[in-house]
Amino acid sequence: MRRSAQEMTSRTGEAMKVLFIISSSDTAFWLSEVTHPYWHLTERGVEIDFASPAGGKIVYDPYSDPYFEHSTEADDLVSKGFLSDKNLVARLETTLKLSDVPLDEYDAVHVAGGRGATFDLYPNADVARVLEHFWAKEKVVGAICHGAIALGNIPERVRGRRTTGYTLEGDQELQRMFGSTFLIPNFPQTVLEEVGSVYSRVAPNDPYVIRDGKLVTGQNQQSASEYALVLLHAMTGQSPVSIG
């Protein structure tokens, strides 16, 4: 396991902990945006708890399931590994209710995406309270893909900060592909721009991660691993990368 005692412990000397916020909506979360951060953090000794607005069972988008016939993530070995472990899969049945989570126990928060985030993570008073707590405590706040819409709950905090998230172009393409019944009530790019963050992007399916101080955002599911490592480096204040 890749870890060092110095990097993976909090200021109290205990193992670092990260709270994952995941949609409760039946429109689902995107699997790799949970599994990749879970893998990169836990293999380095970080403890993870899953929470959702309603608590209990959450569901992932079938198109993010590498075993689904029409999956867009058929080569996702990380998600395959996660799904092969019945104990990990069981954790998706028993997420914490977000309003009940003792926030002081955690060193960072990660908001996963998937279309469900646009239904129940914004606007959401509980999500706003949680993100404000982490921000006020100067802890790391991370969000990826459609999950970046959650930052719209704390407009005063993200105004003027550099962000990314799922593109409006990508959402419009999804709506063209799946037809009029494929609803997206709020678009991450639109919300991030409306609250005054400095939104930027690359091509819809290219990986892209932005770190602005203790705020980390990823554009899409293709960014999940890169995002997770940047999140880790923001938490520890260290990076193995040396630029000459």
What are the structure tokens assigned to 242, written together?
């040396």
**What does the pLDDT read at residue 8?**
63
CA distance 129 to 41: 24
21 and 95 in contact (C-beta within 8 Å)? no
Give how far Cα 213 sits from Cα of 65, 142, 161, Å: 33, 11, 9
**What does the pLDDT read at residue 5?**
36
**What does the pLDDT read at residue 244?**
87
Predicted TM-score (pTM) above 0.85: yes
What are the structure tokens assigned to 52, written together?
């959702």
Domains along the sequence of the chain with CATH = 17-236 (3.40.50.880)
**Residues pairing with 39 in the sheet:** none
Per-residue pLDDT in tens (0 to 9) along the chain, 244 residues = 455 534 466 655 689 999 999 999 999 999 999 999 999 999 999 999 999 999 999 999 999 999 999 999 999 999 999 999 999 999 999 999 999 999 999 999 999 999 999 999 999 999 999 999 999 999 999 999 999 999 999 999 999 999 999 999 999 999 999 998 999 999 999 999 999 999 999 999 999 999 999 999 999 999 999 999 999 999 999 999 998 8
Report how far apart the first and last C-alpha atoms of the chain are (Å, whole number). 28
